């Protein structure tokens, strides 16, 4: 099934409903469909083999997703915040692309030196031409690639994930009921356009019949204003945005009466933050969504009912689910495996494997990385409880090996974040002559607070095993994070290593 | 066996479907009493009143062998395999997460 059909169905079911609100532009489903048809004509006339977008998103994202699909080409939104050099490097990896860029980024795209790509167009020029172009309508093979996304590349070279039409439509039709939104429902979208959450938001809200209100550059005050002004009923944020929203809500008298559902995901949200948000917005249903680019977005959700149940539970097994990502969505199977590939029973920790039609696991230039039975290794450490709730314990690449013992940073982070003198924390391993790796807790205290490192070490020591006590605790004003709030651990480790060379500290003290 | 992703239309009403999960049974997929045909084929014949219960836009219909079709355009005919009606697949609603 082609993603074009999602728009076709939306336009035939609800032609006059407002589909997109983006700045001063408002488009009905029918208008979006016509513009995408014209856009497909512009793309087809360029003789390009791929479509690229560099810009802040808004209406351009759904427009280009569907225009490219109707022209039968794959589409890649690229991170506009990258350096010109990095943007051009990614563009060169794509075949004969037509590059559409918001005007501030046209220069960065460098029309003269893309190499393979001969065509660069300003976003406004593209829209103007799409309004008058002869429509084109190709019917791509459902197994053809619809979207190529570059992973954020917390490891070296960004990987180009290929999502087929079938991957994306399986996700949308499997998790969203067509036209299930109420006529006045609206979603506020502030996730980046080059992220899988941006792509899935454009597809699933359209299919649900929910107006998409775009906030391309996130600002917490503006987010709160737009919720009220556009009577927004659902929104999705990453944890760093939630933190800022909560700060605004705590300062002023905002009730957000229209908001029914607030989803968060993209990286781990600390429990104290989730609890604060739940208390501030008692009428809102919170949703924790977990997924990867390679899985066409969400594969597990912790529902509003799960949140409420966990929040009020006296049974510790139920209460701890507030820190889980909930249960798999329909069509997704999950397994936890040990390092030898054996499937583990509930409550044992291993690597998460997933399977389902929305799972691509295919990279450009590499091919599919699924095993013989179609399972995809997420490289996330995870545990399932007896009722099927999934707990994510960080990336397996981040595991610290200290004195031969494997230590998941998430275990220490989940504990430290609950200390009232810790606002944010990352735990990393640094090279150490005695232990192989030493555990360093990088702590961001609340403003004006100066915690005692020994007290924090003692706090961990009394709750976890001694070998899991941080060897050192250092303090920072903020942690380096990516767009969705993922902590950039490599950067932290690099910085610690540099400091160490400068300071030449005494041998790391032993802690059993 | 018909291919997943194939789009079919009714000959006797407005109904269009896409094959989500194929099975041999779909070789005898009918709507409004007449066999469903590839999209773009001319309409012919009349709706059989015995198969005129209609279908719902955006809903999935299944049979007992695992076949599944999604209605991409609703119409007046009943979706059947031979003379046996497909059943509406009830979906457990998920909260909006995108």
Q: Do A187 and B92 touch (CB under 8 A)?
A: no
Interface check for B65 against chain A (CB to CB < 8 A): the answer is no
Q: Is A173 on the interface with B (CB under 8 A)?
A: yes
Same domain, A497 and A357: no
B73 in contact with A, Cβ within 8 Å: yes
- Cβ B3 vs Cβ B22: under 8 Å: yes
Name the least confident of A137-146, A328-337, B7-16, B67-76: A137-146
Closest partner residue to B72 (CB to CB) among A9, A201, A204 is A9
| Residue among B66, B81, B88 nearest B31 (CA) | B81
Same domain, A360 and A428: no
| Position A485 in a domain | yes
* B82 in contact with chain A, both atoms CB, cutoff 8 A: no
- Collapsed DSSP state (helix, strand, coil) of residue A271: helix
Q: Decide if A326 is inside a domain.
A: no
Contacts with A139 (C-beta within 8 Å, 6 or more apart), sequence order: A2, A4, A72
Alpha-carbon separation of residue B2 from A136, A243, A301 (angstroms): 27, 51, 34
d(CA A261, CA A180): 14
* Residue A5 forms part of a structural domain: yes
A307 in contact with B at a CB cutoff of 8 Å?
no
Interface test with A, best of B57, B69, B91, B97 (most A CBs within 10 A): B97
ipTM of the complex: 0.92
A445 and A363 housed in the same domain: no
Residue A386 is part of a domain; what is its CATH number? 2.30.38.10
Distance between CA atoms of B88 and A200, rounded to whole angstroms? 26
Of A13, A180, A265, the CB nearest to B93: A180
The tokens describing A136, both together, are: 């084109």
Here the CATH number for the domain that contains residue A428 is: 3.30.300.30
Domain annotation covers residue A243: no
Residues A502 and A361 grouped into a single domain: no
Whether residue A180 lies inside any domain: the answer is no
E strand or H helix that includes residue A473? strand A472-475
Contact with chain A for residue B89, Cβ under 8 A: no
**Residue A312: Cβ-neighbour burial (10 angstroms; 0-12, 13-18, 19+):** exposed
CATH number, domain containing residue A38: 3.40.50.12780
Same domain (yes/no): A32, A149: yes
Using CA coordinates, name the residue in chain B closest to A205: B98
From chain B, the residues in CB contact with A289 under 8 A are 97-98
Same domain, A4 and A139: yes
Q: What is the pLDDT of residue A112?
A: 56
Residue A289 lies in a domain: no
Structure tokens at A374: 């179609």
Verify whether the Cβ–Cβ distance B95 to A303 is below 8 Å: yes
Cβ contact (<8 Å) for B96 and A187?
Answer: yes
Q: For an interface test with A, which of B4, B70, B94, B96 has the most A Cβ atoms less than 10 Å from its Cβ?
A: B96
Percent of chain B with pLDDT over 70: 100
Q: Is some CB atom of chain A closer than 8 A to the CB atom of B40?
A: no
pLDDT of amino acid A503: 56
Q: Is residue A185 part of a domain?
A: no
Last residue of a domain, one of A353, A377, A395: A395
Across the interface, of B5, B95, B96, the residue whose CB is closest to A142 is: B5
Residue A425 parent element (H or E):
strand A424-432
Is the Cβ–Cβ distance between A168 and A296 less than 8 Å? yes
Residue A209, C-beta contacts closer than 8 angstroms, at least 6 positions apart = A10, A13, A14, A17, A178, A179, A180, A181, A183, A185
Claim: this prediction has a pTM higher than 0.95: no
The last residue of one of the domains, among A117, A145, A164, is A164
How much is the pLDDT for B44? Answer: 93
Q: Which of B5, B91, B97 sits opposite A298 (nearest CB)?
A: B97
Residues A72 and A147 in one domain: yes
Instruction: Check CB contact of A201 with chain B, cutoff 8 Å.
Output: yes
Residue A176: closest C-alpha in chain B: B94
B91 at interface of A, judged by CB pairs closer than 8 A: yes
User: Bridge-partner residues for A438, per DSSP?
Assistant: A430
Could you tell me the sign of the dihedral formed by the alpha carbons of B18, B21, B24, B30, in that order? negative
The pLDDT profile of chain A, 512 residues, written as one tens digit per residue, is 999 999 999 999 999 999 999 999 999 999 999 999 999 999 999 999 999 999 999 999 999 999 999 999 999 999 999 889 889 999 999 999 999 999 999 988 876 555 444 689 999 999 999 999 999 888 888 899 999 999 875 556 789 999 999 999 999 999 999 999 999 999 999 999 999 999 999 999 999 999 999 999 999 999 999 999 999 999 999 999 999 999 999 998 888 999 999 999 988 899 999 999 999 999 999 999 999 999 999 999 999 999 999 999 999 999 999 999 999 999 999 999 999 999 999 999 999 999 999 999 899 989 889 999 999 999 999 999 999 999 998 888 888 999 888 898 999 999 999 999 999 999 999 998 888 899 999 999 999 999 999 999 999 999 988 889 999 999 999 999 887 778 899 899 989 988 776 554 444 444 44
Q: Are residues A340 and A475 in the same domain?
A: no
Q: How many domains does chain A have?
A: 3
Beta-bridge partners for A353: A335, A377
- The CA–CA distances, whole Å, from A68 to A33, A189, B18 equal 12, 21, 21
Dump the DSSP string for B42-61.
PP-S---GGG-----TT-EE
Structural domain boundaries enclosing A386? 332-395
**For A261, nearest residue in chain B (alpha carbons):** B96
Judge if A370 and A413 occupy the same domain.
Answer: no
**Do the chains contact at B72 and A297, CB–CB below 8 Å?**
no
pLDDT at A508: 45
Q: Is B57's CB within 8 Å of A179's CB?
A: yes
A204 at interface of B, judged by CB pairs closer than 8 A: yes
Asked if A419 and A380 sit in the same domain, the reply is: no
Chain A: give the shortest CA distance to residue B1, in Å. Answer: 17
B97 reaches A (C-beta below 8 A): yes
Cβ count within 10 A of residue A512 = 8
How close, in Å, is residue B70 to chain A by CA atoms?
A: 9
Residues A125, A10 share a domain: yes
Bridge partners of residue B81, in order along the sequence = B29, B84
Asked if A234 reaches chain B (Cβ–Cβ under 8 Å), the answer is yes
**Residue A376 counted as domain residue:** yes
Q: Which of A177, A178, A197 sits opposite B98 (nearest CB)?
A: A197
Flag if B73 and A12 touch (Cβ within 8 Å).
Answer: yes
Together in a domain, A360 and A411: no
Domain boundary among A138, A164, A190: A164
Which residues in A lie closer than 8 A to residue B95 (C-beta atoms)? 261, 263, 285, 287, 301, 303-304
């Amino acid at each position: 099934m082609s993603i074009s059909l999602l728009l076709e169905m939306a336009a035939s079911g609800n032609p006059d409903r407002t589909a997109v609100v983006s700045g001063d532009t408002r488009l009905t489903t029918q208008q979006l469909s016509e513009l995408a048809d014209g856009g497909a004509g512009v793309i087809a006339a360029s003789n390009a083999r791929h479509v690229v977008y560099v810009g802040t998103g808004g209406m351009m994202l759904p427009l280009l997703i569907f225009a490219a699909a109707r022209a039968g080409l794959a589409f890649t939104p690229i991170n506009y915040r990258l350096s010109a050099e990095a943007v051009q490097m990614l563009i060169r990896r794509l075949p004969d692309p037509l590059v559409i860029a918001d005007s501030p980024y046209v220069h960065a795209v460098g029309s003269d030196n893309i190499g393979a790509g001969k065509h660069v167009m300003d976003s406004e020029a593209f829209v103007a031409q799409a309004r008058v172009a002869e429509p084109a309508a190709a019917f791509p093979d459902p197994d053809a690639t619809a979207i190529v996304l570059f992973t954020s590349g917390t490891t070296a070279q960004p990987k180009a994930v290929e999502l087929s039409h079938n991957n994306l439509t399986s996700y949308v039709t499997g998790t969203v009921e067509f036209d299930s939104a109420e006529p006045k429902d609206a979603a506020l979208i502030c996730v980046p356009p080059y992220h899988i959450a941006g792509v899935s938001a454009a597809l699933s809200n359209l299919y649900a019949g929910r107006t998409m209100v775009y906030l391309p550059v996130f600002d917490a005050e503006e987010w709160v204003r737009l919720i009220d002004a556009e009577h927004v009923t659902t929104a999705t944020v990453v944890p760093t945005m939630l933190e800022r929203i909560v700060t605004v809500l705590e300062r002023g008298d905002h009730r957000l009466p229209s908001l029914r559902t607030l989803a968060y995901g993209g990286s781990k949200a600390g429990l104290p933050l989730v609890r604060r948000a739940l208390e501030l917005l008692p009428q809102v249903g919170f949703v924790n969504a977990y997924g990867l680019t390679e899985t066409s977005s969400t594969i597990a959700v912790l529902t509003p009912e799960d949140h409420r149940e966990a929040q009020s539970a006296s049974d510790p097994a139920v209460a701890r689910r507030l820190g889980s990502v909930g249960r798999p969505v329909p069509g997704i199977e999950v397994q936890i495996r040990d390092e030898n590939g054996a499937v583990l029973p509930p409550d044992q920790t291993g690597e998460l494997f997933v399977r389902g039609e929305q799972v691509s696991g295919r990279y450009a230039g590499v091919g599919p990385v699924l095993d013989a039975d179609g399972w995809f290794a997420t490289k996330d450490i995870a545990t399932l409880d007896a009722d099927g709730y999934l707990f994510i314990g960080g990336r397996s690449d981040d595991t610290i090996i200290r004195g031969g013992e494997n230590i998941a940073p998430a275990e220490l982070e989940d504990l430290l974040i609950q200390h009232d003198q810790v606002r944010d924390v990352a735990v990393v391993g640094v090279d150490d002559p005695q232990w192989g790796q030493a555990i360093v807790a990088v702590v961001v205290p609340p403003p004006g607070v100066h915690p005692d490192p020994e007290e924090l070490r003692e706090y961990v020591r009394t709750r976890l095993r001694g070998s899991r006590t941080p060897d050192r605790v250092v303090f920072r004003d903020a942690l380096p994070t990516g767009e969705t709030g993922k902590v950039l651990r490599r950067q932290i480790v690099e910085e610690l290593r540099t400091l160490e060379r400068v300071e030449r500290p005494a041998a790391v003290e032993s802690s059993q | 066996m018909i291919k997943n992703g194939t789009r079919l239309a009714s000959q006797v009403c407005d109904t269009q479907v896409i094959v989500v999960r194929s099975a041999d049974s779909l070789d005898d997929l009918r709507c409004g009493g007449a066999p469903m045909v590839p999209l773009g084929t001319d309409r012919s014949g009349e709706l059989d009143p015995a198969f005129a219960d209609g279908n719902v836009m955006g809903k999935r219909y299944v049979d007992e062998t695992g076949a599944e079709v999604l209605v991409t355009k609703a119409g007046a005919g009943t979706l059947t395999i031979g003379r046996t009606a497909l059943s509406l697949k009830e979906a457990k609603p998920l909260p909006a997460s995108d």
